[in-house]
Amino acid sequence: MKKIRLNLIPGDGIGIEVVRESTRVLGKISELHGGISFLANELDWGCGHYLKHGTMMPRDGLSILADCDAILLGAIGFPGVADHVSVQGLLFPIRQGFDQYINMRPIKMLEGLDSPLKASRPEDIDFVVIRENSEGEYCGKGSISHEGTPEEAVIQEAHFSRKGTTRVIRYAFEYARSHGRATVASATKSNALNYSMVFWDKIFGEVKASYPDIASRSIHVDALAGMFILKPQMFEVVVASNLFGDILTDLGSAMLGSIGISPSANINPEKRFPSMFEPIHGSAPDIAGKGIANPLGTLWSMVMMLEHLDLPDMAGMLMKAIASVVASGTVKTPDMGGTGTTAQVVDEVCRQLDRTGR
Ligand code: ATP
């Protein structure tokens, strides 16, 4: 029996509910597979930890985390702890410390989802956003001067390195090639950002020269956001900087009808460090504790985790179960127009796994 060691960071707010409920499918998956078992180690890191100990995670948090095959995270952030403190104290140290330089976010319409868009058939919306995840606008550097005076000013830096930019753009082209995708679009803003995005475009031009089989274009991010809404069919792979990718993928998930649906993977492609999987939504304090958070984003993130763990059959089975629960429409959480609970959706996915897996 192969043992797969997972570190779980449910985090804050609905993160706790969606991770606790969704991980119930792991038992079902090991049962269906027959040759694997999951050892899940739950860590109580997040804003609660900060209020008790003054840090979002223990000082040696990364070495505790390193000893596993994958990390599953719920959501981080809660009123009472400033957002920049929670993000800079946990999410960014993990992404950067484990060199998870790829953030992959599929935006895929499933039968049964209620998109607010006119073009909303499954074949209309099916693309992946590959976001740079280790530097760029989220490098955390900057300065404040003349604090508290009328001259107060801040500088927020964006750090784009040749290595960091090249590897994410190359990853996007490689992904397109290996997944039968014919086009890569790059989100830029080089008309206004005269250093960072001019550089990004230059590297994009260099990398694309090695992929003559893939059609590619650079599109200013503001126009790109509009095209997501008006012509989603034109996208297959989108590569974007940390900030642009962050914004574009919340928009992408909203195109599917709810921010609670979309998954993400923070990947260290070389597998030198564990990768981390998390739904794209936040901790949603407005519905926390009510048991009605949508678990689909977390379950779909677990599909990506199973793929990363080289368990494609199990990933496929879980994805099929999620898709048939969505298509049947029998249980939906309120964000999708239903009255179901988090637990009921997970129960239904487990039932589907039972039906399709045997
Ligand atoms: P962050 O800054 O971390 O993205 P946020 O509070 O700005 O957090 P979210 O927490 O992602 O944004 O959510 C915005 C709103 O979307 C929430 O207030 C909630 O109503 C809804 N929402 C988010 N995730 C879910 C979910 N999984 N199920 C149901 N509703 C959700």
Q: How many CB atoms lie within 10 A of CB 67?
A: 10
Instruction: Tell me the residue range of the domain where 139 lies.
Output: 116-255
Residue nearest to atom 31 of ligand 1 (CA): 260
CA dist 134 → 72, 91, 97 (Å): 18, 11, 9
Q: How confident is the model at residue 119 (pLDDT cuts 50, 70, 90)?
A: confident
Q: Are residues 238 and 126 in the same domain?
A: yes
* Percent residues over pLDDT 70 in the chain: 99
CA–centroid distance, 348 to ligand 1, in Å, is 23
Ligand 1 atom at shortest distance from the alpha carbon of 14: 27
Q: What is the pLDDT of residue 228?
A: 96
* CA-proximal residue: ligand 1, atom 21 (nearest): 284
Pair 7, 96 in one domain: yes
How many angstroms separate the alpha carbon of residue 263 from the centre of ligand 1?
Answer: 13
Q: Span 71-95, mean pLDDT?
A: 94
CA pair distance 315, 25, nearest whole angstrom = 12
Closest protein CA for atom 18 of ligand 1 = 284
- Looking at the structure, tell me whether residues 249 and 120 fall in a common domain: yes
Q: Work out the average pLDDT over 26-35.
A: 94
Examine the domain organization and report whether 1 and 80 are in the same domain.
yes
Question: Which residue minimizes the CA distance to atom 15 of ligand 1?
Answer: 284
Provide the pLDDT for residue 75. 97
- Whether residue 265 is contained in a domain is answered as no
Alpha helices, DSSP H, located in the chain: 14-22, 24-33, 47-53, 61-66, 83-86, 92-97, 162-178, 196-208, 221-230, 242-255, 296-308, 312-328, 342-357
Residue of the CA atom closest to atom 1 of ligand 1: 282
Residue 6 Cα, ligand 1 centroid: separation in angstroms?
25
Q: Is the pLDDT of residue 356 over 90?
A: no
Domain boundary among 240, 255, 270: 255
Please report whether residue 340 resides in a domain.
Answer: yes
pLDDT band at residue 358 under the 50/70/90 scheme: low
Which residue from 241, 352, 355 is spatially nearest to 299, judged by alpha carbons? 352
The answer to whether 276 and 15 are in contact (CB under 8 A) is no
- Look at residue 107 and tell me if it is in a domain: no
Q: How far is the CA of 284 from the centre of ligand 1 (A)?
A: 4
Examine residue 214 and state whether it is found in any structural domain, yes or no. yes
What pLDDT shows up at residue 101?
97
Residue 54: exposed, middle, or buried by beta-carbon count in 10 A (0-12, 13-18, 19+)? exposed
Same domain, 297 and 249: no
Residue 226 falls inside a structural domain: yes
Shared domain for 138 and 198, answered yes or no, is: yes
Q: What is the CATH number of the domain that holds 356?
A: 3.40.718.10
Give me the number of domains the chain comprises.
Answer: 2
Bridge partners, residue 112, by sequence? none
Q: 202 in a domain, yes or no?
A: yes
Tell whether the model's pLDDT for residue 60 goes beyond 90: yes
> Is the pLDDT assigned to residue 96 strictly greater than 70?
yes
Q: Does 120 share its domain with 251?
A: yes
Give the Å distance between the CA of 328 and the centre of ligand 1. Answer: 25
Q: Which of 222, 255, 288 is the last residue of a domain?
A: 255
Contacts of 68 (CB under 8 A, 6+ apart): 5, 6, 7, 41, 274
- In terms of domains, do 45 and 77 share one? yes
Q: Is 286 in the pocket of ligand 1 (CB under 6 A)?
A: yes
Residue 48 forms part of a structural domain = yes
Query: Is the Cβ–Cβ distance between 67 and 31 less than 8 Å?
Result: no
Same domain membership, residue 135 and residue 93: no
Regarding whether 300 and 352 lie in a shared domain, the answer is yes
Give mean pLDDT, residues 44-51.
96
Residues 6+ apart with CB under 8 A from 27: 38
What distance in Å separates the CA atoms of residue 297 and residue 246, rounded to the nearest whole number?
Answer: 15
Q: Is the CB of 260 under 6 A from ligand 1?
A: yes
Q: Is the pLDDT of residue 141 over 90?
A: yes
* Sheet containing 183-188: order of strands: 36-42, 2-11, 70-75, 275-279, 263-267, 102-108, 126-132, 237-240, 183-188, 215-220
Q: Is residue 269 part of a domain?
A: no
Q: Is the pLDDT of residue 151 over 70?
A: yes
Best residue among 88, 281, 346 to mutate for probing ligand 1, ranked by most atoms within 8 Å of CB: 281
Q: How far is CA 260 from the centre of its chain?
A: 11
321 and 294 co-located in one domain: yes
